[in-house]
Amino acid sequence: MKSTAHRPRPAASTSNAPAKRPPRARERVMFVKDPELEEAKLKRLGGSRSDDFNNVLANQVLSTLWTKHSNDTERKRRVAALAGALVGIGPKDELEGMLAGQLTAAHSAAIECYRRAMMDEQSFDGRKEALNQANKLSRTYTTLLEALNRHRGKGQQRVTVEHVTVNAGGQAVVGAVDAGG
């Protein structure tokens, strides 16, 4: 015969403090710095006041450079050129920083594909594939550039026409009109 004994419930807590739960295995705690309190020494690279963000972004972009056959001098030039490109794009916030990083990575990858397509020892199929990938990367670059320009407000202009009435026999002119003197 089974016991049907009733277990008493714990008394309800009267405090407003949330109940503490035991830490779960493999739980992680993240400490975040307030970007507004940082010096932003690397802001020109990634657009953020957080130098951690800018540093990570710059290193991610650097890792996309093809430097396998480069000597130390050439590698340093490529790193400096990449940093110059990021600064030249001039990201103003984190989104622009990420787009700038992707722009430079897509450009580097496209140029590498074009280079590989033009190698003398390249087979026809190899050349065709390299050009196909270069084409896709070039289109991606253009899409990213358009997104950056839209974000910066340099996209298509908007013209809003609220109300226009042209009566019979009348004419309407759309565009800039110089009344002249």
Average of per-residue pLDDT across 37-64: 91
The answer to whether the CB of 86 falls within 8 A of the CB of 61 is: yes
Task: Report pLDDT for 68.
Answer: 83
Weakest mean pLDDT among 14-28, 78-92, 93-107? 14-28
pLDDT in tens, 4-40: 555 555 555 555 666 777 667 777 877 777 767 778 8
Task: Report pLDDT for 5.
Answer: 56
Inside any domain, residue 124: yes
Inside any domain, residue 5: no
Q: List Cα–Cα distances, 45 to 3, 58, 96, 102, 140, in angstroms.
A: 71, 7, 10, 13, 21
Inside any domain, residue 7: no
Weakest mean pLDDT among 46-60, 99-113, 160-174? 160-174
Domain count, the chain: 1
> Residue 117's pLDDT band (boundaries 50, 70, 90)?
very high
Inside any domain, residue 25: no
Inside any domain, residue 28: no
Task: Provide CB contacts within 8 A for 103, sequence distance 6+.
Answer: 89, 141, 144, 145, 148
Q: Which has more pLDDT, 15 or 158?
A: 158
Inside any domain, residue 32: no
Instruction: Check pLDDT > 90 for residue 181.
Output: no
Task: Report pLDDT for 8.
Answer: 55
Domain with 57 in it: 37-151
Inside any domain, residue 181: no
Inside any domain, residue 8: no
Q: Which has more pLDDT, 178 or 81?
A: 81
